[in-house]
Amino acid sequence: MEHKGYHITYCTNIHSGETWQEHFQELKEHVPSIKEQFAPNGPMALGLRLSDKAAKELQRGRALNELKSWLKENDLYVFTFNGFPFGDFHKSKVKDAVHLPDWSDKRRLAYSENLFEILKELLPAGMHGGISTNPLGYRHHFGEMGSEPWKEMLRSSTLNILELVAKLHAIKEKEGKILHLDIEPEPDGILETGDEFFDWYVNVLLPLGRHYFQKHFDYDGQQAERIIKTHVQVCYDICHFALGFEAHKKQMQQLRDHGIRIGKIQVSAALKLTFGDDMEHRAQQKNALEKFDEPIYLHQVIARKADENGLKRFKDLPDALSVMMESEDEEWRSHFHVPVFADQFGVLESTQDDILEVLDIQKDLFMSPYLEVETYTWAVLPDSLKLPIDQSIARELNWLKDKI
């Protein structure tokens, strides 16, 4: 849906289905009801999530034409895919395997190429299209930062991305369609923070890219940089930046000053809890937080003390829960995508204020016209927070629309 200059959508990773037919059935079951509640009188956007298996199936036979027909019949359009999870994202343990294969693996490159081939066929005229992807890989798979395995991972991942960029540039030159890969910084990713993404972009991607495009295409440095900045952007997931207590204005201004674009803003919220001296209240918080400890997804916790600038990181929620009663931290934030329309969950809170702050910054900087709500954890939410899925998604979309 377009509203006040924004295209508002939600990510279909909330719907299960690893094969295309399974996922398509879920879309046909839920999307018409969501549209009726959110955009009954005009077109609505979908942010598709396709597994590697589904992407391959969608390119066979009549499947893509059937999707195009269904989109047209239901007044829907697509400008973005979630290309982060490669395989099963719902039924089995995901945890750190969500990063596999990482960007040093040619399978990640081939998967992304398939997604772009599909997206270019679905993209409406006059719009650019993006595919969000993992932040190169999971940092704990590659030893210490700066080690040889780490450096080799950075180099090989960046070269694979540049190979993709060359293909996206060829599509632009031949067909006039602008497509971009949107790197999504995430807790415990190789690129975890906004500063790490920026450092990689400026000090690794651009230098390697200038050499790559000069060697293979005889482009000069300025041409190469222009191509890279067109086709490699950032997916600004508000939940992830909020988890790291990052300053949104600083991060967005830094990107703007260096001509690095935001492909889409993922509107999402994390769990938050503020500690005090009341240990009975803390015990209640611990009991509430334990209900969010489920076995499928990673739920990293990032802690901040009142009198220190440094942050403490826990790889998953159980690690943090084990020391919660003895903690001297001021605030914890946990990587659990909670409904964006709520700022309170009993004795727990959310980072909804970060969403409102980013929307306010957008009034001045307008970094992206594409907003995608991404709350994918409905199935594993505590029962007290569950509503029928169609109502829940429509409620999130309408909340966002009202806040713009």
Q: Give the chain as a 3 state SS string.
A: CEECCEEEEEEHHHCCCCCHHHHHHHHHHHHHHHHHHHCCCCCEEEEEECCHHHHHHHCCCCHHHHHHHHHHHCCEEEEEEECCCCCCCCCCCCHHHHHCCCCCCHHHHHHHHHHHHHHHHHCCCCCCEEEEECCCCEHHHCCCCCCHHHHHHHHHHHHHHHHHHHHHHHHHHHHCCCEEEEECCCCCECCCCHHHHHHHHHHHHHHHHHHHHHHHHCCCHHHHHHHHHHHEEEEEEHHHHHHCCCCHHHHHHHHHHCCCCEEEEEECEEEEEECCCCHHHHHHHHHHHHCCCCCCCCCCEEEECCCCCCEEEECCHHHHHCCHHHCCCCEEEEEEEECCCCCEECCEEECHHHHHHHHHHHHHHCCCCEEEECCCCHHHCCHHHCCCHHHHHHHHHHHHHHHC
Taking the alpha carbons of 195, 79, 179, 257 in that order, is the dihedral positive or negative? negative
Confidence of residue 361 (pLDDT cuts 50, 70, 90): very high
Query: HSE-up of 317 (CA within 13 Å, CB side)?
Result: 22
- Amino acid identity at 386: K
The pLDDT value recorded for residue 375 is 85
Q: 235 falls in which pLDDT band (50, 70, 90)?
A: very high
Mean pLDDT across the chain: 94
Q: Is the pTM of this model over 0.75?
A: yes
Rounded Cα distance between 110 and 197, Å, is 23
* 338, amino acid identity: V
The pLDDT of 105-125, averaged and rounded, is 98
Which tokens in the block code for residue 356?
Answer: 């409102």
* Cβ-contact 340, 375 below 8 angstroms: yes
Among 199, 210, 260, smallest CA distance to 231 is for 260
Quick one: which of 243, 234, 218 has its CA closest to 166? 218
pLDDT surpassing 60 at residue 243: yes
pLDDT band for position 310 (cuts 50, 70, 90): confident
State mean pLDDT over 125-151. Answer: 95
Q: Give the pLDDT score at 377.
A: 67
CA distance linking residue 218 with residue 194, whole number of Å: 32
Rounded Cα–Cα distance for residues 356 and 340 (Å): 10
DSSP lists the bridge partners of residue 232 as 181
pLDDT at 161 over 60: yes
* Residue 182 burial by Cβ neighbours in a 10 Å radius (0-12, 13-18, 19+): buried
Report pLDDT for 388.
Answer: 84
Mean pLDDT of 331-338: 94
- 380 pLDDT more than 60: no
The confidence score (pLDDT) of residue 94 equals 82
**In the predicted model, is pLDDT for residue 71 greater than 60?**
yes
- Point out the least confidently predicted range of 41-50, 66-75, 89-98: 89-98
Q: What is the pLDDT of residues 278-299, one digit of tens each?
A: 999 999 999 999 988 988 889 9
Q: Which amino acid makes up residue 40?
A: P
Residue 139: what pLDDT? 95
Mean pLDDT of 68-72: 98
The arithmetic mean of pLDDT across residues 347-359, rounded, is 96
pLDDT at residue number 193: 97
Residue 76, pLDDT > 70, answer: yes
pLDDT value at 124 more than 90: yes
Q: What percent of the chain has pLDDT over 70?
A: 97
Average pLDDT over every residue of 81-109? 89
Query: CA 189 → CA 138, 170, 183, 331, distances in Å?
Result: 5, 30, 11, 22
- Interval 171-184 mean pLDDT: 98
Q: How far apart are CA 384 and CA 224, in angstroms?
A: 52
Residue with token string 């239901």: 74
> Mean pLDDT across the stretch 207-225?
97
pLDDT of residue 95: 87
Q: Using alpha carbons only, what angle is made at residue 385 by residues 383 and 387, rounded to the nearest 5 degrees?
A: 90
Extract the tokens encoding 383.
């029962």
pLDDT band at 50 (very low <50, low <70, confident <90, very high): very high
